[in-house]
Amino acid sequence: MQKAEEAVTAAQQQAAASAQKDQQALAVARGQVSAARTSLAVTRATQSGAALKDRQTVAGGRLQVHADEVLLDAAVRSGQASVAEAERSAQVAEQSARHAAGATIAAAERTARAAIDAALATARANAAPARQAEPGTVAQDEAQVIQDQNTLAAARQMLAETRLTAPFAGTVDQVSGTVGQSAGGGGGGGSGSQSSVVTLVSHQLAVTADVSETQVTRLALGDTATALVNADTPAQVPARVATIAPTPAGGGAFPVTFDLAATPAGARPGLTVSLSVVLARSDDVLSVPSAAVHGSGAHAFVTTLGANGTRRSVRVTVGLVGDRTTAIAAGLRAGQRVVVGG
């Protein structure tokens, strides 16, 4: 780049010197024209006064001298030719100067462009090794960005865990922490023990019951039930099946959660609740206490008690079976007495 600038500067200086030289030649030509014109004027004056004598009286307004017009015309034409030739020489010199200056500047620009192209080629060649090393550098930078983002996310999680927010509406049952006590980390992914600071009891109470494997298959989410809550004043509350455990707990029973439609006055966690779930219904049927039915299916029977106290086993056809009563489809008639548990 520096060589290109020096070439342009040299071309400009050369053009300026050539222009100055041409201006000097033009000035000489113009001086020659001026001298020719002066010579013509002197010639005219000399010819006009050639016939005059010293101390001769001349009347105003009268022609006293006749010059040689042929000679004067020849002198005028000679002077005009000299002037025209000088002016042509000046124009040719000026055009030559301009052409030479333009050619010199064009050559300098070509030289400058070549120098610029060479400098760019050198710069690109020098930059090639750096570009080849860029992928590794970019990968390192991207890895650093990801690491910084993870650090920022962890810091934000720790900041969020400095506040305890109630996940639901409820009543504070117990406060385990004290001001200034160190509490264990939460869900931020860090290690360390967790400690309970506040125990919150939801206003929306739920009931968990263990249902046998023979009955759990007959339950479905959303089934309605009736809960008898042993609060300060026992009350029956509508309920519905909220969750059914996919696997049994201890004893082979399946935990089933029931949501209560309302919370009776005085109800609190740990109270005993009796649940009644209607799985099926049969109207206008004969029923006996479920404890009076022995066996099952085609081998189900009951023990009847006669008028004289005699007992007799009677085969029955069983319908719907409930916790308390069982429907009898055939084998008994209304009014017969049955033995319960005997």
**Rg over CA atoms, the chain:** 64
pLDDT at 68 over 80: no
214: containing domain: 203-277
**Domain contains 164:** no
What's the predicted TM-score (pTM) here? Answer: 0.37
- Residue 307's pLDDT is 85
Q: What is the pLDDT of residues 156-200, one digit of tens each?
A: 887 777 777 777 777 777 777 777 676 655 544 444 556 677 777
* Stretch 43-64: mean pLDDT: 54
CB 1 within 8 A of CB 119: yes
Question: Which of 121, 136, 163 is at the close of a domain?
Answer: 121
pLDDT confidence of 297, banded at 50, 70, 90? confident
Detail the DSSP E strand segments found in the chain. Answer: 170-175, 198-202, 206-211, 224-229, 235-244, 254-260, 273-277, 286-289, 301-305, 311-315, 317-321, 325-330, 337-338
- Residue 341's pLDDT is 77
My answer on whether 92 and 31 are in the same domain is: yes
Mean pLDDT score across all residues of the chain: 75
Q: Report the number of distinct structural domains present in the chain.
A: 3
The residue count of the chain comes to 342
Q: What is the pLDDT of residues 108-152, one digit of tens each?
A: 778 777 877 887 788 777 766 655 655 667 788 888 899 999 999
My answer on whether 103 and 210 are in the same domain is: no
* Stretch 247-263: mean pLDDT: 87
My answer on whether 272 and 290 are in the same domain is: no
Residues in contact with 261: Cβ distance below 8 Å, sequence separation at least 6, in sequence order:
237, 238, 239, 240
CA nearest 238: which of 267, 260, 264, 269? 260
